[in-house]
Structure 1
């Protein structure tokens, strides 16, 4: 029976003899045994009823390459062993393994398959036999015709000779099939379309292919364009960055990248934030102007960056870790360093920092605190001897000056901490302060006692410090510029008798005054134009300025004085003063030079070498020093600290801490500001990388809170007695107004206009106790804007104020001030004023934090006003801190307002 007049040709024996024999074995008719294979191929056809729809290539009427007749064929044995040969030709196909069923199962329709099936990996359903799937997946076949075909009763022969092939398990990427045009209109085959629709369908297929191609082309072009833009930006940045400083390259890259970005969508790198921070700390007003012209981080961004770096008095162990990582690559000579220490004057002032819960402004050496007002800060810094680097490592606050015993302990602790980082301390440098001398003598006496105890030789040239298993020999030097200043100060009141070239000579300050007065008689052109009254006249001299001493004891003054004395224009004894000035000029140059080249004929103001002229001069004058053994680095650090913002000339302890943190982050410590007490030291900046410093501070875990310090139990505050009724009424009005202010702030951060919370703590009526609050209310259109607390909340605020005011003077210097006040409030008052299920849990902490911040800040403000003379104290004042602040004001103020 012909199925629609469709027939299929036998496989070509020339190209596919294996499949041709398979067909013959399945049919098993004697008609084909003696017939030539080519004749069978050319003249014989087999009906399409012997094949199912799966044997056809999808979208065509052609058979697949390995299709074979299996429907309506005779059930006679046939040789199908040759099927094994098919495996060799199908080794590249992926065959899905499934169980062989005993009955035929309908499989997928041809319309659900892609038109390009020859490139797909086909996985049939479990209902089809393995042998059927093996042959159905192997390509297309050619058409043939054949009549008289008999159907096999079953496919047992095929199943018994089927070869079980294990599939290769490879991950198959699932693709979502998009519905085609035919599926969208409810058809499954193109043959169901009319001729006109078929033509339109073919056109749509071509257009779809064209669209996919254009989309792919466009996507490829976008990718290439993005890569080209990225490459061009990198080339431009690298090209121009090599011609700019690192700061200029960071700033330029920031402008190119973030200018066209919205303000809230800008993101800044750490380098950009630190660069902006250095600009902001130089001048906040200038930074605001630059922010209007360029794209820069906001002030809030910079303050958040600073807040992540905790800086406290004493040696910071986190900084020591960063320093230890920074010195690993240094050689042994480069690790040699000197430790410098000096004090800077501060303005007495108290500041409460609610973030750390502590008041800044009391004496604090990093180990303990007192209730004395700090007016000086002691800073320790390391300075490289061979390699020019410097780094502040510790600071402390003190009143007047640090005690000699405390200073000696801090110095030894700093030397031990620096030694643990890998650096080697060989010298310590300071000025000639009495406390500094006493501290060094204490350490030397300890060294002498240890030497006598161990019966070893003691040398006065150095003192010893034990650092673990090592014992360091440290030489102490006094700052040469300060030595020169000390010589000048002594010469002001005393004549100097000295011996030079075997002759006894005498130097007088009066000779210098005579030279200055003689030079001032020349109106137009002077011989010594740099000398002014601040250099010569004793009561006008700035005794703390080293440059004033160096410009007087100079080569120019000595040569002109000797010339005038030789011409008898001046007293002949002035020659001795001239030689004295010339001697100290050469000596000071020999210990204050750092260059190899001779500048302005100053042969001694050069770097020290093995065969330089310094040795001969020193043999005749003093022992050797080096340029790196002075305090210029520390003095420049103080100058940079005072120069921040140009208004920090007399910083408080709080401002000093903030400036110290800023100079620790950026590389501004080598900047030289006008009016400094020394020359610029031309250092290479901080040894510690501020990047690694920031990252180490960020990664380090915060230290646990210190234990509460011991406090004398004073009991709960007693009610005030002896006050008039008017004073008590005013006090109650003030407490009620403060309670309303507390509610207003808590409503902003916690309640968020919660009706339940406000109903529990606010009053619905304004009674007599709210007269002050009503008078302060603006009452627009008769509406009250301020908060009016009820009696319960007023009592809560009043009790909190009394407890804080009672205990604060005795524990104000504690590091855990906030925690201690919170514990006292929890123990003495009932905080269950809010029963709101949403905010009741968070109310106690928010209330305690705000009331403590409010009261402590107000107390510090009163202390600062007393210290500055803006506020006095009452006769019955019992606050010990306020009394101490008033006594200090009376002591140091030239014209006190209050007595």
Structure 2
């Protein structure tokens, strides 16, 4: 997966060179390059174990889709060289990423959907593209709230007004009908990056509350709300399937297995059909309008998840027994960014040099507790360490001393949950291979 974190546009001189200019691996140290404003980070997350590891970073000030595609191909080649099989690429939905996907060879048009591309080291292997479903959910909420209504394929109307009326009713009565709806969900623009605010709007509890107000209480402001209820339930169920993280989960949050294939396949099919049938007030299909990213993104992610299930679970000699779709979420890299920001205390906008120093420390000293942010730790996936119990402690310490990776507690945290990583599931050889790859990436 790849994502960007904003850094401060600041140039400083230290150790005989300038820091802060654009650097994509060549080590620019003079004013011939523009000042960097973002750090593009690539990260690998294990689909069948509990580890993740940053693969590299690039200091950029804008980057074309073709350049991003070249970096992805180079990264996939390096992973292949150390024996890591890359099956998917997760990203969010800015226009530069859609350009990157086109250069890689993927097709995200609804009419000819094929969100995958050949692996640069093995053309027989396909790498499937997943647009982060949490970002797609927020974009869908934005489209729904700002547009006010959708029209279904059979002419019914899906209205944001029913959600506003439910919140108004609950405030007036001083109680909630078994849901978490409050003013923050109506004023979402103030916290538009909060995933939980979008997920709590598209929830079964909100759909049940609206249905109760219509069917049982007979309130006139909730008349003809059937399409809205159906819409909320489709999105709620599909999001649960696309965000499963517990191997022992039940219902819609259960992992994808052969035994429950009929159930989750029907849920994803119904959600895709409903979304593709939605139109705006003028009758234009939403997947063709200016807010098409959420709709095409959900369709592409569902298509890729089904293909991954076929390859990893439902095939001869399949390497896995079940699929946890949360493994393909961008939360893993967002949590890494939260740890970077936490290391700066109250400075959540580090300079390029501060980002580089924190990045190196987190590779070796990654036990960072997290505070509040737009996502939280939902599983035990943690940065892959070198195994100090298998005779590698000396190499670990020498690397730490070389890059000044001293252990220290951050002054400010970014997430609510305690991290409980499991380090014993990856072989020592694989850990050393990946750490060697990281140390030599820019050398």
**TM-score if structure 1 supplies the norm length?**
0.36
- Residues 684 and 519 (structure 1 numbering): CA distance in 2 closer, same or farther, change over 3 Å? closer
| Correspondence for 1:373 among 21, 28, 35 | 35
User: What does 1:78-93 align with in structure 2 at a 5 Å threshold?
Assistant: none
| Correspondence for 2:19 among 360, 382, 400 | 360
1:695 counterpart = 2:395: yes
- Residues 580 and 345 (structure 1 numbering): CA distance in 2 closer, same or farther, change over 3 Å? same
1:546 aligned partner = 195
State the aligned residue count: 338
2:157 aligned partner = 506
C-alpha distance in structure 2 between counterparts of 1:408 and 1:390, whole Å: 22
C-alpha distance in structure 1 between counterparts of 2:378 and 2:195, whole Å: 15
Q: Is the 2:181–2:206 Cα contact (8 Å) retained in structure 1?
A: no
Unmatched 5+ stretches in structure 2: 273-301, 306-324, 403-441
User: What does 1:154-553 align with in structure 2 at a 5 Å threshold?
Assistant: 340-354=1-15, 357-367=16-26, 369=28, 370-399=32-61, 401-444=62-105, 460-467=114-121, 472-494=125-147, 495-499=149-153, 504-523=155-174, 525-527=175-177, 530-537=180-187, 540-553=189-202
1:248 aligned partner = none
- Deviation (angstroms), 1:465: 3.2
C-alpha distance in structure 2 between counterparts of 1:518 and 1:644, whole Å: 43
- Residues 419 and 698 (structure 1 numbering): CA distance in 2 closer, same or farther, change over 3 Å? same
C-alpha distance in structure 2 between counterparts of 1:423 and 1:358, whole Å: 35
CA shift digits 1:214-255 (9 cap, x unpaired): xxxxxxxxxxxxxxxxxxxxxxxxxxxxxxxxxxxxxxxxxx
- Residues 636 and 659 (structure 1 numbering): CA distance in 2 closer, same or farther, change over 3 Å? same
2:326 aligned partner = 627
| Correspondence for 1:657 among 356, 360, 364 | 356
User: What does 1:645-724 align with in structure 2 at a 5 Å threshold?
Assistant: 646-668=345-367, 671-675=369-373, 677-689=374-386, 692=392, 695=395, 698=398
The structure with more radius of gyration: 1
C-alpha distance in structure 2 between counterparts of 1:695 and 1:522, whole Å: 64
C-alpha distance in structure 2 between counterparts of 1:403 and 1:461, whole Å: 20
- Deviation (angstroms), 1:672: 4.1
2:251 aligned partner = 603
- Runs of 4 or more consecutive aligned structure 1 residues displaced over 6 Å after TM superposition: none
C-alpha distance in structure 1 between counterparts of 2:23 and 2:387, whole Å: 26
CA shift digits 1:590-638 (9 cap, x unpaired): 111122444xxx6101211112121221232343632211111111111
C-alpha distance in structure 2 between counterparts of 1:362 and 1:466, whole Å: 30
- Residues 645 and 343 (structure 1 numbering): CA distance in 2 closer, same or farther, change over 3 Å? closer
C-alpha distance in structure 2 between counterparts of 1:432 and 1:693, whole Å: 41
C-alpha distance in structure 2 between counterparts of 1:417 and 1:575, whole Å: 52
| Correspondence for 1:639 among 334, 338, 344 | 338
**TM-score if structure 2 supplies the norm length?**
0.70
Q: Is the 1:666–1:690 Cα contact (8 Å) retained in structure 2?
A: no
CA shift digits 1:545-574 (9 cap, x unpaired): 211111111111110011112232133122
CA shift digits 1:410-437 (9 cap, x unpaired): 1111111111110001110000111111
1:582 aligned partner = 233
C-alpha distance in structure 2 between counterparts of 1:574 and 1:385, whole Å: 40
- Residues 365 and 576 (structure 1 numbering): CA distance in 2 closer, same or farther, change over 3 Å? same
1:307 aligned partner = none
C-alpha distance in structure 2 between counterparts of 1:582 and 1:517, whole Å: 21
Q: Is the 2:234–2:270 Cα contact (8 Å) retained in structure 1?
A: no
Q: Is the 2:76–2:120 Cα contact (8 Å) retained in structure 1?
A: no
- Residues 460 and 530 (structure 1 numbering): CA distance in 2 closer, same or farther, change over 3 Å? closer
C-alpha distance in structure 2 between counterparts of 1:611 and 1:471, whole Å: 29
- Deviation (angstroms), 1:685: 2.3
Give SS of 1:646's match.
Answer: coil
Give SS of 1:604's match.
Answer: helix
- Deviation (angstroms), 1:688: 3.9
Q: Is the 2:7–2:352 Cα contact (8 Å) retained in structure 1?
A: yes
Q: Name the structure, 1 or 2, with higher relative contact order (CA <8 Å, separation 6+).
A: 2
- Residues 526 and 462 (structure 1 numbering): CA distance in 2 closer, same or farther, change over 3 Å? closer
Unmatched 5+ stretches in structure 1: 1-339, 447-457, 703-814, 816-899
1:19 aligned partner = none
Q: Is the 1:496–1:506 Cα contact (8 Å) retained in structure 2?
A: yes
- Considering fraction of residues, name the structure with more helix: 1
CA shift digits 1:830-875 (9 cap, x unpaired): xxxxxxxxxxxxxxxxxxxxxxxxxxxxxxxxxxxxxxxxxxxxxx
- Residues 690 and 640 (structure 1 numbering): CA distance in 2 closer, same or farther, change over 3 Å? farther
Q: Is the 1:485–1:546 Cα contact (8 Å) retained in structure 2?
A: yes
Q: Is the 2:137–2:199 Cα contact (8 Å) retained in structure 1?
A: yes
